[in-house]
């Protein structure tokens, strides 16, 4: 007996509402309750409707069309052409884009995927789960699609099946093969695999209600700190374990230490996620959650625990174009590098350090010097002062924290080493040039700023310099930048560590002020025509027009770490 389209709609709705739990759960939990907990990848998009409405009504949405970048993108007409291309399909299905967002895909959508194992090429699994706001809208849409495709011969028949006494449907394709779908409560499931849809039916009947226990996948997202993100790609490491073990076993001797350390860290990884979060700002990041005791000791310090920000951030000028800061000891970093190197690599690294730095600081003092470098590091570019040339000033700072009975000896060795580097550069240049570089020493409070001066040797405004100031080694492209540096008074603070910062207003102002001079300098160096270079600077400034600040953040916990790029726009997104 052939069913009419309206009969199938009624059947689908009857199944949907008959299986709906008495206590309504959040749309995300509804989806994750029936999603395969062992899937290698689960992509979840939650509350797309709410996010779209918030962004559409935001100050940024009101500002963007009038911006230079907004005008350029809107004039391209890509969105309009996309809507025009999709219009005939949507008309045939009897649905509008607004209905699709508001009533079908706007609450929660998940896609679960597991690739085929090498030993099982047919073992690929893929499943789509949708929690529509209005199940009747999706049911009518499916019914209409079935009607169109059976009418044109793409689908031979839509057949009702049962599993555990519950219905699901098979779409038999004219060219062979089939697709399967079912409504389980408010959730729609679709897959090219009958086993995957039957598994959804089984999980729906056996998984505990959300009110009793959060779904396993939801709990993982909560541990990762991404449960409220707009989009999350959750990674289950376990389906990839065999592949990593095989690669480690087949590794060459030079590759084996790194792969072994990586495989151990991977085995300790419980879950990982890529995510996109949209609030007043936008954030894109990666989150990792480990079993800390299973991690190699060298990796544990980098991948778990509190991540304090560098104590140098207060010393970075507010108008710095770009800044990077970190907190680690040089000796700890070298120990980590050694841990992943083969025996020959360890020996080569140690020999290189001994041959290059040993003669300068003294081979017996080298371990003390490496132990004293850090933990606070920073590097930034700041705008040039008026009349000093178009190049930004580059500044690098590292805390020198020598301790023990040889602390003064260690710091003095470092001062001599840096001074030797400046003297060697001066001698090398003067030996081959008629013009000469001078080495100047200028008092700066309790410090002395040592700088290289040569009108022809360096671009306008560049005067390499260094100084040791209150326990910090400061190296910069201008002596004025060294003199401006003020050592921070506080120590590092835990919580959210900023690793890098980009200032949109500072870069735009720099490009506006120095574009022509930099373009002329690059053109003279053979990097293109001046007009073309200037145009590239304009395009770069236009791309950054919506950006107030961009930061790389590191958030640590007892069991993992989260690294994110957060973009603060000139107007809030919500």
What would the pLDDT profile of 186-232 be if each residue is shown by its tens digit?
999 999 999 999 999 999 988 777 767 789 999 999 999 999 999 99
User: How would DSSP label each residue in 520-546?
Assistant: HHHHHTTSS-HHHHHHHHHHHHHHTTT
User: How would DSSP label each residue in 104-165?
Assistant: IISSEEEEEEEPPBTTBTT--EEEEEEE-S-HHHHHHHHHHHHHHHHHTTSEEEEEEEEETT
| pLDDT bucket at 71, cuts 50 / 70 / 90 | confident
**DSSP structural state of residue 384:** P
Q: Are 253 and 247 in contact (CB under 8 A)?
A: no
Q: What is the pLDDT of residue 245?
A: 83
The separation between the first and the last C-alpha atoms of the chain, rounded to the nearest angstrom, is 53
Which has the minimum average pLDDT: 75-89, 247-261, 401-415, 421-435?
A: 75-89
Q: Which one has a higher pLDDT value, 123 or 97?
A: 97
Q: What is the pLDDT of residue 209?
A: 72
Tell me what the mean pLDDT of segment 147-168 comes to.
95
**Is residue 141 scored above 90 in pLDDT?**
yes
Tell me what the mean pLDDT of segment 76-98 comes to.
83
Give strand pairing partners of 112.
42, 127
Give me 107's structure tokens: 């609450």
Q: How far apart are CA 313 and CA 488, in angstroms?
A: 8
Which has the minimum average pLDDT: 35-39, 368-372, 495-499?
A: 495-499
**Is residue 312 scored above 70 in pLDDT?**
yes
**Is residue 233 scored above 80 in pLDDT?**
yes
Task: Residue 108: name the closest of 136, 130, 134, 139 by CA.
Answer: 130
Angle at alpha carbon of residue 566, lines to 563 and 572, rounded to 5°: 155
Q: How far apart are CA 37 and CA 213, in angstroms?
A: 14
Give me 443's structure tokens: 């008092």
Task: Residue 58: name the closest of 328, 350, 280 by CA.
Answer: 280
Tell me what the mean pLDDT of segment 311-334 comes to.
95
**Is residue 11 scored above 60 in pLDDT?**
no
Q: What is the pLDDT of residue 84?
A: 80
Give me 130's structure tokens: 């949708």
Phi-psi region of 540 (alpha: psi -120 to 50; beta: other; left: phi over 0): alpha
In the chain, % of residues over pLDDT 70: 94
Task: Residue 9: name the closest of 103, 120, 146 by CA.
Answer: 146
Angle at alpha carbon of residue 368, lines to 366 and 369, rounded to 5°: 65
| pLDDT bucket at 343, cuts 50 / 70 / 90 | confident
In the chain, % of residues over pLDDT 90: 66
454: three-class secondary structure by DSSP? coil
Q: Are 498 and 552 in contact (CB under 8 A)?
A: yes
Q: What is the pLDDT of residue 492?
A: 62
Tell me what the mean pLDDT of segment 416-439 comes to.
95
Q: At what angle do helices 504-524 and 530-543 cross, to 10 degrees?
A: 170
Phi-psi region of 142 (alpha: psi -120 to 50; beta: other; left: phi over 0): alpha
Q: How many CB atoms lie within 10 A of CB 356?
A: 10
pLDDT tens across 511-526, in order? 999 999 999 988 988 8
**DSSP structural state of residue 294:** G
**Is residue 572 scored above 70 in pLDDT?**
yes
Q: Are 110 and 35 in contact (CB under 8 A)?
A: yes
Q: What is the pLDDT of residue 314?
A: 94
| Mean of all residue pLDDT scores within the chain | 89
Q: What is the pLDDT of residue 25?
A: 64
**Which pTM value belongs to this model?**
0.89
Q: What is the pLDDT of residue 12?
A: 41
Q: Are 273 and 226 in contact (CB under 8 A)?
A: yes
Q: CB within 8 A of 478, min separation 6: which ones?
A: 384, 388, 393, 461, 462, 463, 465
Q: What is the pLDDT of residue 68?
A: 87
Q: What is the pLDDT of residue 465?
A: 97
Element containing residue 472 per DSSP (H, E): strand 472-476
Q: CB within 8 A of 494, min separation 6: which ones?
A: 306, 307, 308
Task: For 191-256, give the secondary structure using H, E and C.
Answer: ECCHHHHHHHHHHHHHCCCCCCCCCHHHHHHHHHCCCCCCEEEEECCHHHHHHHHHHHHCCCCCCH
Q: How many CB atoms lie within 10 A of CB 183?
A: 29
Task: Residue 480: name the closest of 459, 463, 458 by CA.
Answer: 463
State the maximum Cα–Cα separation within the chain, in Å, rounded to a whole number: 100
Q: How far apart are CA 388 and CA 399, in angstroms?
A: 28
Cα R_g (the chain), whole angstroms: 31
């Amino acid at each position: 007996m052939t069913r009419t389209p309206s009969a199938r709609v009624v059947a689908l709705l009857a199944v949907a509402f008959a299986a709906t739990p008495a206590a309504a759960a959040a749309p995300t939990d509804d989806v994750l309750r029936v999603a395969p907990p062992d899937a290698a990848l689960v992509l979840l998009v939650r509350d797309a409707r709410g996010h779209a409405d918030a962004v559409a009504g935001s100050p940024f949405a009101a500002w963007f069309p009038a911006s230079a970048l907004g005008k350029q993108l809107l004039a391209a007409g890509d969105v309009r052409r996309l809507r025009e291309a999709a219009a005939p399909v949507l008309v045939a299905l009897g649905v509008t884009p607004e209905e699709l967002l508001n009533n079908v895909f706007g609450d929660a959508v998940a896609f679960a995927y597991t690739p085929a194992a090498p030993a099982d090429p047919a073992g690929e699994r893929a499943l789509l789960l949708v929690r529509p706001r209005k199940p009747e809208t999706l049911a009518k849409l499916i019914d209409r699609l079935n009607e169109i495709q059976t009418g044109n011969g793409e689908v031979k028949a839509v057949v009702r099946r049962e599993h555990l006494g519950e219905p699901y449907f098979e779409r038999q394709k004219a060219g062979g093969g089939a697709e399967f779908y079912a409504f389980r409560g408010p959730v729609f499931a679709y897959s090219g695999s009958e086993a995957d849809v039957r598994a959804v039916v089984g999980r729906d009947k056996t998984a505990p209600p959300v009110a009793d226990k959060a779904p396993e996948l939801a709990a993982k997202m909560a541990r990762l700190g991404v449960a409220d993100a707009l989009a999350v790609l959750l990674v289950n490491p376990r389906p990839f374990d065999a592949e990593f073990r095989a690669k480690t076993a087949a590794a060459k001797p030079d590759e084996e230490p790194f792969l072994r350390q990586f495989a151990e860290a991977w085995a300790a990884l419980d879950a990982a996620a890529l995510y996109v979060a949209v609030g007043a700002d936008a954030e894109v990041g990666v989150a990792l959650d480990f079993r800390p005791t299973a991690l190699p000791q060298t990796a544990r310090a980098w991948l778990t625990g509190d991540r304090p920000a560098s104590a140098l951030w207060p010393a970075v000028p507010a108008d710095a174009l770009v800044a990077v800061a970190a907190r680690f000891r040089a000796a700890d970093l070298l120990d980590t590098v050694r841990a992943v190197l083969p025996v020959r690599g360890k020996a080569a690294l140690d020999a290189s350090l001994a041959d290059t730095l040993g003669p300068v600081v003294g081979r017996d003092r080298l371990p003390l010097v490496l132990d004293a470098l850090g933990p606070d590091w920073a590097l930034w570019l700041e705008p040039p002062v008026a009349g000093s040339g178009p190049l930004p000033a580059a500044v690098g700072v590292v805390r020198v924290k020598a301790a023990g009975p040889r602390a003064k000896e260690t710091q003095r060795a470092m001062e001599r080493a840096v001074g030797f580097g400046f003297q060697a550069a001066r001698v090398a240049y003067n030996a081959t040039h008629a013009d000469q570089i001078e080495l100047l020493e200028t008092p700066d409070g309790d410090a002395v700023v040592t700088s290289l001066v040569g009108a022809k040797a360096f671009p306008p405004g560049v005067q390499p310099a260094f100084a040791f100031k209150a326990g910090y080694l400061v190296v910069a492209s201008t002596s004025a930048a060294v003199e401006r540096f003020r050592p921070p008074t506080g120590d590092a603070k835990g919580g959210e560590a900023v690793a890098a910062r980009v200032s949109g207003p500072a870069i735009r102002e720099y490009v506006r002020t120095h574009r022509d001079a930099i373009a002329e300098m690059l053109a003279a160096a053979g990097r293109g025509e001046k007009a073309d270079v200037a145009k590239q600077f304009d395009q770069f400034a236009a791309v950054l027009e919506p950006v107030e600040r961009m930061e790389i953040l590191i958030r640590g916990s007892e069991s993992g770490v989260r690294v994110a790029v957060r973009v603060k726009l000139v107007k809030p997104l919500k």
